[in-house]
Structure formats: C-alpha cells, structure tokens
Amino acid sequence: MDLSFLLELVDPIILGICLVAGYALKTAFTRFPNKYIPLAALCTGVVLAIIINMSGGITPQVILEGMISGLASTGMYELVRNLFDFDKRKTEC
C-alpha cells in the first residue's frame, strides 16, 4: 500500500505553526498534559487550513490537509527530539 499521496496534503506553513504552538504549550504551561498536545496540534491545523483556504471554500481535502499537517508537526517534534537526544543530555548534566 502506497501512502505517498499523504505527503501532498502536508502544508509546510501549517506544519511549522503547529510545531511552534505545540512546543509553546509544552514549555509554557507545565500543568497542560502532554497527551493533549497532538489533539491541540490537530485542531490548530484544521483552523489554519480553513483560514488559509477561505476563498476556495471548506472541502474535505482542506480539513484533511489541516489534520495531517497538525499531526505531522507532532511527529516532526518527536523526530527532532529523538534524533538529537535532548532528554538524555538533560539527565547527563
């Protein structure tokens, strides 16, 4: 099964904004549970996709683009965090 069509739905602008918003939630609000950050990124992505594509109307593709971009931002954060081992550096110091 080829899932490469999902890459066409990722908008780098939405991904970047959701990445920053998720990181801000994680660091600014210590009482905000980490398990809700992907949901917040998903909702932020959908709202941004609707705002960006306002002139073309709200279609299922626009909503799916926002959802995938928002969730991809969570995956991008985990990729960078694991790639550079940020958690291990904090415990070693």
Q: Which residues contact 63 (CB under 8 A, 6 or more apart)?
A: 46, 49, 50
**pLDDT, average across residues 70-86:** 88
pLDDT at residue 85, rounded to an integer: 78
User: What does the angle CA 46 – CA 32 – CA 22 come to, to the nearest 5 degrees?
Assistant: 40
- Confidence grade of residue 47 (pLDDT, cut at 50, 70, 90): very high
